[in-house]
Amino acid sequence: MKTIRLTRRKRAKVSDEDYQWLRQWKWHSLGCWTKKRNRLKTWYAVRNVYDPETQKAHKGYMHKEIANRMGLALERIEHRDKDGLNNQRENLRPATHSQVIQNQRKRPRCASRFKGVWQDRSRWRAGITQAGRKRSLGSFLCEEDAAQAYNQAARKLFGDHARLNPVPPQ
């Protein structure tokens, strides 16, 4: 693993076999903002790409350049660890839109510490959404039990793309 310097004191991690090839361009860092809370969410390594047909420049993302070189489908490329600057080959994978959503973090400002869990009066409820359909996983006395129920359903439905809650197994 090697790193490529970017602007704003950022560094992109890349695999050894891609390092020399990527060094032919000047890369800079780009922060993506959340729309609702207007705060920085993720950093990416990008470069300016000039299109002679349209005579305009557009952004070329490092992870998409590497995925193209690897022969992966370019519809969506996901970072397994959700770090937009970790562009090592083993951290990149093709994903559909729904798979990207399945691997999202827990939403902030929720009553629960866990993804897929919320409080309903004095009990904890668990639920999961797949292909736009919400499924209830039950009602629990303990928040950790509800999180465990979410983890079991996520493993079954989403497989490798599931983002699991950090709860100890029972």
Euclidean distance between CA atoms 137 and 126, whole angstroms: 5
Characterize the bridge pairing of strands 40-51 and 28-33: antiparallel
Give residue-wise pLDDT tens across range 42-81. 899 999 999 899 999 999 999 999 999 998 876 789 898 8
* 30-44, 123-137, 153-167: least confident range: 30-44
pTM of the complete model beyond 0.85:
no
Domains in the chain: boundaries: 2-95, 106-161
| pLDDT above 70: residue 169 | no
Task: Of 16-20, 48-52, 95-99, 108-112, give the range with the top mean pLDDT.
Answer: 16-20
**CATH value of 106-161 in 2.60.40.10, 3.30.730.10, 3.20.20.190, 3.40.50.720:** 3.30.730.10
